[in-house]
Structure 1
Amino acid sequence: MMGKSVEATELNNFINVLRNKIKNIHQTFIENNLTISAKSIIDEFKGVNKKQPKMTLQAFKEHNEQMDRLSGKSISKSTAKRYWTCYNHVEQFIDEEYRKDDFPMNSINHHFISKFEYFLKTKRACNHNSALKYVNNFKKS
């Protein structure tokens, strides 16, 4: 809005705030390699379909509980126990590495997996084959 009246200044400030929010949303989409469209930006701006990301330990625990129910039927009890051991390792890794209680699944990438493998070999003193087995168990969950 043109002019220097209080109304014009307030409206221009409001428009600038909206513009900055939209630019931030656009930048977030770029950083997260998300598909950018007018609808997706508007939905994000409005908070439409805004849901909490699935958390790693929460999903892993659900998986392990399913494995417990299958224990002795389609999988061995030692396999179910190994999944819980892996869960404990992942829980400790997230706590020590990220200082968090849980970690969003959509943030897990190659770097996370590599750091987890390194953690297993150094902090948990796992040999190479054991570390890879835990990494594979983690990926399956």
Structure 2
Amino acid sequence: MQTYSLLFYAKKAKNNPELSTIYMRITVAGRRTEISTGQTVKTPQWSIKLGKVSGNSPNGKQLNSLLESFRAKLFECYNSLYNEGKEITCENLRNKYLEIEERKITLIEHNSKVKGLIDREFSKGTWKRYETSLRHTQAFLKWKFNISDIDVRHINAGFVADYEFYLRTVRNCSNNSAVKYIRNFQKIINICLNNEWIS
């Protein structure tokens, strides 16, 4: 399991330095994100060293208990992502905690974006090449998985190898044609990588 860390810290309010908002800082593989807990504390009562409210006041104990429940919930989210076989990143963990549904980026979706950029970033000739590649990709998805589209996060080296095998055997493409279609496919994957849709 990939390790992560959680730190609670307090940030002084701009309009009232005597009051601080408590945040959660989530770190996974060197990357971090922050979430406001929605809780405030008097600035002098916050212990930077301990990452919680200092002292034994009833309000302080109650707030510390609430923070620990946040910690437990985050750990549950981590375990849920792990058990679902999903990549664990600080962004995914944050979204899971906040119950933000991930927007899926699909493979076939990219081609419709290319079509919308004709005469701006792509020529009509480029679109026609992509359209031909699209038909091959859709046919491959139907042949291999019996689906019409696929989440880009499910694409890996094995997927590409199977696609190339399909082009050369089932579609009986020549070497030059197969290479051309794989190169078009690679451009789509590079866009996904650049946008961090896949790792």
**TM beyond 0.5:** yes
How far residue 102 of structure 1 moved from its aligned partner, in angstroms, is 0.6
For 1:27, the equivalent position in structure 2 comes to 83
Give the aligned residue type for 2:119. R
How far residue 77 of structure 1 moved from its aligned partner, in angstroms, is 3.9
Within 5 Å, give how 1:87-126 maps onto structure 2. 87-126=134-173
**Contact 1:26/1:36, CA 8 A, preserved across alignment:** no
For 1:80, the equivalent position in structure 2 comes to 127
For 1:52, the equivalent position in structure 2 comes to 103
Unaligned runs of 5+ in 1: 1-17
Higher normalized contact order (CA 8 Å, seq sep 6+, divided by chain length): 1
How far residue 139 of structure 1 moved from its aligned partner, in angstroms, is 1.8
For 2:119, the equivalent position in structure 1 comes to 69
Greater share of residues in helix: 1
TM normalised by structure 1 equals 0.65
For 1:134, the equivalent position in structure 2 comes to 181
How far residue 48 of structure 1 moved from its aligned partner, in angstroms, is 2.2
In structure 2, the residue corresponding to 1:69 is in which secondary structure?
Answer: coil
Deviations 1:93-141 (A, max 9, x none): 1111111121001111111111111111111111122111101112213
**Contact 1:61/1:87, CA 8 A, preserved across alignment:** no
How far residue 84 of structure 1 moved from its aligned partner, in angstroms, is 0.7
User: Structure 1's 43 and 62: CA in aligned 2 closer, same or farther, altered over 3 A?
Assistant: closer
Q: What RMSD in Å do the two structures reach over aligned CA positions?
A: 3.1
Larger Rg: 2
Distance 2:87 2:78 in 1: 16
* Identical pairs, percent: 23
**How many residues in Structure 1 have an aligned counterpart in Structure 2?**
115
**Contact 1:54/1:105, CA 8 A, preserved across alignment:** yes
